[in-house]
Each structure stands twice: as structure tokens, then as C-alpha cells.
């Protein structure tokens, strides 16, 4: 398995990617690739997607400079790309609208999706409602509990949510279950994969649907500061928001691309999702990429306070960007992410998704390294509404029974009391 050849093989990024799935799915992947490649050069498809971006999602998403937060980032200028302001509250909608339109073009009537934080499931349920498709979302039992609000949202949108009790009961197991559904129902069903991994053409296709993030942001930063940023920062679960904002900058060699993985309780603890710190190249969910695995090739369970980053593998293009040296990846712990969550909320009045808070914590470190002259562009991939319960528990704002704990209650250590 060569990872250095200059001419990538079909469906690969360097040596990473490929199509490691049961033969039964190959015709569907071939059909998807054909329909997708035709659609993206068809003015009707391009026009329809563009119309939905403008009139439904609310694109272009704005950028916001955050000077009070930046004081905690070594004084560097920090600019947020506001994917949190998209309809449904995250970047996920960019990909889902593209795939939902392709589902129609393929003549399929049913979509399935996996979800971790629930954002991709909500986006898929939304697109299904908009386009009149049947929708089933697989979600690990543990995630249905920590993202209960999003489960209700999906059901209100008309989707069926299936809790998955296998394995670690998180995102990885939801993906397994979605693949099992897909093998059985592929004639009528499209699997709306929610990130830039899986078998070819998903990593490339999902990236292209998210590329708009970086295309917009690059121009917006040029307009605001008159030059390119020194670094572009994003959190990396499967890697879709990161590749979406990175991709337009790949040829801008002066711009550092930095991805932040879930460091959980610390890489040394083993309880994390830092694939690039502790993973080894292997195959999971159809792609050859970095995988957290043991000596026997069994997947190791990941851990993160953030459901959307709690995944033991990562998109193959990120593996290639790492090996080629074009991008860097660093772990951010639960504690660091929650501190950044609290800081952005209190200094700027923006509640970030806990996933995105990993990128904000990254900005605090990178800003201190680069100093006052630096310009950092951070992808704020989602909003924190879905995380209010988790954050309230984390900061002791509610008791075990969910009732509020006020400052004079014994043991409360609310966000307000932290600093």
C-alpha cells in the first residue's frame, strides 16, 4: 500500500481512501459517482443547490471578528466563519442538500444517515422533509442520551430515529448499522454519509459539497484584513468541516492548516479520539485511513465530551494532508474545549458547539504561539444549543435530576464563578 506515489490511484488521496465495502454496494457507489459527476456540471443542479444555499440555508455565512475572545489567544486577530448560523445550526446542511438532490436524481425515495452529535441527522431529516423523502437516522444509544434534544428535533421533522445498542453505542456503531440497512435496501435507499470518510466517492463528494465554506471565507478574510490568514483552524471528527474550510487554501502555501482532534481525557489516558496521535493506518467503514486499533486490528473505542468528534477513524484526505505535511493535527482535551466553550460564550455572546470549541481551544494555543501579528481563521462549525444540557452538567449548573442549581446552592461551580 504505497502512500507516496505522485499519481494517486483511483479514488485515493495519496495512498489513502479506496473502497473497502461488500461487493453488493459497488453498483450503488458506481451509480452515485456517475450521477454526482454529471450533476456538478449540470447548470440545473448547480443552480438548484445554489438557490437552496441562498434561500434556505442562508449562505453565504458571515465571518465575525472576536476581539474580546482574541485577548485569550495571545492577542492575535481571530475571525470566525459562522457555519453555526446556517439553517439547522451547523455546516452539515451543505453536504446534505447536495446529497438529497442527488437522491432525487437517482430516483431513490428513502434516505438513511448516521449521526453522532445529531447535527447531521437533523440536517438529513430537514432535507428529507423539504424534498419529500422517507428518512431513517441511526444513532448510538449513548449519543441519543447526551444529545436528547436533537433526537426530538429529528422526530419532529418526521424522521425515524433508531438507537444503536451495539459496541460502544456511539457514532462508529451507528455507521455500521447504516451500512447494514444500506446493503439490504440499496435499490430504493441512498445513504447520506455525514462526513468525508467511507468508500469512494464519499470523501471527495462530501468535501466538494463543503468546499464552499473555504471559498467564501477566503474572500471574506481578504476583504476584511487585506491579506490571507496565517492559519486556518477547524475541529476534526470525520473531517468534513475541516476539509471544507481547508480546501480552498491548499495552494496558498503561506497559510497553515491546523486540525484539532478530540484529546478526551488526554492522549496518555487512552480515552480520546486523537487518531493522528495514536492511530495506525488501516481500514474502517470503507476507507484506508488512520484508525484507532489494537494489535489484532480490532477497532478501539474512542472517547470525547463531544459526540461529533467521538469517532475512532478520520477521513482519508486528512491522512494524506498529514503525511504530505500540508496540514497539522493536534489533540485538544475535554477540559480545554470546555474552557474555550465558556470563554467564547462569556466574551462574545456566542455559544459554540462543543465540537467547534475544540477549534477555539486550538486558537487559544496557536494564537499564543504566533503572537499579535497573526490572523487566525477559525471554523465555527456549529452552535451550542444542542450542548446546553452537557455544558450545564459540566459546569454544575444543574443537579443530577436536571433541576437548576443556583450560585448559593452548595457545590455549584457555574460558568460565572469560574474566573
Partner 1 sequence: MSVATIIEKCRADNRAALIGYLPVGFPSVEGSIAAMKVLVESGVDIVEIGVPYSDPVMDGPVIQDAAVRALAAGVHLTDIFTAAREVSAAGAGALVMTYWNPVLRYGVERFAADLAAAGGSGLITPDLIPDEGRDWIAAADAHDLDKVFLVAPSSTPERLEAVTAQCRGFVYATAVMGVTGARATVGEAADALVSRTREHTDLPVCVGVGVSTGDQAAEVGRYADGVIVGSALVRCLTEAQSEAQGLEALGALARELADGVRRSRS
Ligand X SMILES: Cc1ncc(COP(=O)(O)O)c(C=O)c1O
Catalytic residue among 83, 114, 204, 348: 114
Binding span for ligand X by CB under 6 A among 45-53, 139-147, 350-358, 402-410:
350-358
Q: Which does 148 bind (CB under 5 to 8 A by kind): partner 1, ligand X, none?
A: none
Candidates 148, 222, 280, 388; binder of partner 1 (CB under 8 A) is: 280
Distance, CA of 45 to CA of 23 (rounded, Å): 29
Q: Does 4 bind partner 1 (CB under 8 A)?
A: no
Binding footprint of ligand X, residue count (CB under 6 A): 21
Query: What letter would DSSP give residue 275?
Result: H
**Dihedral sign, CA of 266, 269, 272, 274?**
positive
Work out how close the CB of 139 gets to ligand X at its nearest, in angstroms, rounded to a whole number.
Answer: 11
Work out how close the CB of 219 gets to ligand X at its nearest, in angstroms, rounded to a whole number.
Answer: 22
Q: Does 7 bind partner 1 (CB under 8 A)?
A: no
Q: Which does 280 bind (CB under 5 to 8 A by kind): ligand X, partner 1, none?
A: partner 1
**Contact in structure between 209 and 243 (CB atoms under 8 Å):** no
Q: H/E/C letters for each residue in 139-171? A: EEHHHHHHCHHHHHHHHHCCCEEEEECCCCCCH
Q: Does 308 bind ligand X (CB under 6 A)?
A: yes
Candidates 66, 117, 243, 291; binder of partner 1 (CB under 8 A) is: 291
Distance, CA of 296 to CA of 309 (rounded, Å): 24
Q: Cell triple for residue 318? A: 486528512
User: What separation, in Å, do the N-terminal and C-terminal C-alpha atoms of the chain show?
Assistant: 51
Residues in 362-381 that interact with ligand X by CB under 6 A: 381
Residues in 182-241 that interact with ligand X by CB under 6 A: 195, 235-241
Q: Does 28 bind partner 1 (CB under 8 A)?
A: yes
369 is catalytic: no
Q: Does 117 bind ligand X (CB under 6 A)?
A: yes
Candidates 41, 43, 226, 296; binder of partner 1 (CB under 8 A) is: 296
Determine the distance from the C-alpha atom of residue 266 to the mean position of all C-alpha atoms in its chain, rounded to a whole number. 21
Q: Does 273 bind ligand X (CB under 6 A)?
A: no
Distance, CA of 317 to CA of 70 (rounded, Å): 30
Count of helix runs (H) and strand runs (E) in the chain: 17, 14
Residues in 125-154 that interact with partner 1 by CB under 8 A: none
Determine the distance from the C-alpha atom of residue 158 to the mean position of all C-alpha atoms in its chain, rounded to a whole number. 23
Distance, CA of 79 to CA of 24 (rounded, Å): 46
Q: Which is nearer to partner 1, 143 or 336 (CB)?
A: 143
**Contact in structure between 170 and 143 (CB atoms under 8 Å):** yes
Q: Which is nearer to ligand X, 72 or 120 (CB)?
A: 120
Distance, CA of 138 to CA of 133 (rounded, Å): 16
Q: Residue with CB nearest ligand X?
A: 382
Q: Which does 239 bind (CB under 5 to 8 A by kind): partner 1, ligand X, none?
A: ligand X
Angle at 196 between CA 192 and CA 198, to 5 degrees: 70
5 is catalytic: no
339 is catalytic: no
- Burial string for 147-178 (b: 16+ CB within 10 Å, else e) reads beebbebbeebebebbbbeeebbbbbbbbbbb
- Contact string (CB under 8 A) for partner 1, positions 250-279, x = contact: ------------------------------
Residues in 72-101 that interact with ligand X by CB under 6 A: 90
Cis peptide leading into residue 60 (ω within 30°) = yes
Q: Does 314 bind partner 1 (CB under 8 A)?
A: no
Q: Which is nearer to partner 1, 30 or 42 (CB)?
A: 30
Residues with a known catalytic role: 92, 114, 381
Would you tell me which residues interact with ligand X (CB under 6 A)?
90, 116-117, 119-120, 195, 235-242, 308-309, 353, 355-356, 381-382
Would you tell me which residues interact with partner 1 (CB under 8 A)?
1, 18-28, 166-167, 172, 176, 179-180, 183-187, 280, 282-286, 291, 293, 295-299
Amino acid at each position: 500500500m504505497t502512500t507516496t506515489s505522485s499519481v494517486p490511484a483511483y479514488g485515493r488521496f495519496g495512498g489513502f481512501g479506496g473502497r473497502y465495502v461488500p461487493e453488493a454496494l459497488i453498483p450503488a457507489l458506481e451509480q452515485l459517482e456517475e450521477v454526482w459527476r454529471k450533476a456538478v456540471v449540470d447548470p440545473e443542479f448547480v443552480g438548484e443547490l445554489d438557490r437552496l444555499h441562498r434561500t434556505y440555508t442562508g449562505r453565504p455565512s458571515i465571518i465575525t471578528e472576536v476581539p474580546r475572545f482574541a485577548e485569550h489567544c495571545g492577542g492575535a486577530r481571530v475571525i470566525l466563519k459562522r457555519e453555526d448560523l446556517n439553517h439547522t445550526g451547523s455546516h452539515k446542511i451543505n453536504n446534505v442538500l447536495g446529497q438529497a438532490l442527488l437522491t432525487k436524481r437517482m430516483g431513490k425515495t428513502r434516505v438513511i444517515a448516521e449521526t453522532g452529535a445529531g447535527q447531521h441527522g437533523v440536517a438529513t431529516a430537514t432535507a428529507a422533509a423539504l424534498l419529500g423523502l422517507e428518512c431513517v437516522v441511526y444513532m448510538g444509544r449513548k449519543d441519543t442520551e447526551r444529545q436528547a434534544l436533537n433526537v426530538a428535533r429529528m422526530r419532529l421533522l418526521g424522521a425515524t430515529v433508531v438507537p444503536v445498542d451495539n459496541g460502544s453505542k456511539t457514532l462508529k456503531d451507528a455507521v455500521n448499522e447504516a451500512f447494514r440497512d444500506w446493503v439490504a435496501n440499496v435499490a430504493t435507499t441512498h445513504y447520506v454519509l455525514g462526513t468525508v470518510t467511507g468508500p469512494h466517492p464519499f470523501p471527495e463528494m462530501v468535501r466538494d459539497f463543503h468546499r464552499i465554506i473555504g471559498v467564501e471565507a477566503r474572500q471574506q478574510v481578504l476583504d476584511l484584513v487585506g491579506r490571507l490568514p496565517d492559519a486556518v483552524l477547524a475541529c476534526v471528527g470525520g473531517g468534513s468541516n475541516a476539509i471544507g474550510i481547508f480546501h480552498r487554501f491548499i495552494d496558498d502555501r503561506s497559510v497553515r492548516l491546523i486540525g484539532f482532534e478530540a484529546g478526551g481525557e488526554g492522549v496518555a489516558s487512552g480515552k480520546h479520539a486523537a487518531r493522528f496521535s495514536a492511530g495506525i493506518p488501516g481500514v474502517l467503514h470503507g476507507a484506508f485511513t488512520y484508525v484507532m486499533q489494537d494489535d489484532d486490528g480490532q477497532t478501539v473505542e474512542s472517547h470525547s465530551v463531544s459526540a461529533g468528534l467521538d469517532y475512532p477513524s478520520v477521513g482519508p484526505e486528512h491522512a494524506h494532508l498529514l503525511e504530505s505535511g500540508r496540514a497539522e493535527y493536534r489533540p485538544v482535551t475535554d477540559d480545554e474545549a470546555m474552557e474555550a466553550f465558556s470563554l467564547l460564550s462569556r466574551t462574545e455572546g456566542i455559544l459554540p458547539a462543543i465540537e467547534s470549541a475544540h477549534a477555539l481551544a486550538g486558537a487559544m494555543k496557536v494564537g499564543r504561539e504566533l503572537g499579535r501579528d497573526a490572523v487566525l481563521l477559525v471554523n465555527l462549525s456549529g452552535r451550542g444549543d444542542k450542548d446546553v444540557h452537557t455544558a450545564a452538567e459540566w459546569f454544575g449548573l444543574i443537579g443530577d435530576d436536571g433541576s437548576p442549581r443556583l450560585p448559593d446552592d452548595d457545590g455549584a461551580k457555574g460558568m460565572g464563578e469560574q474566573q
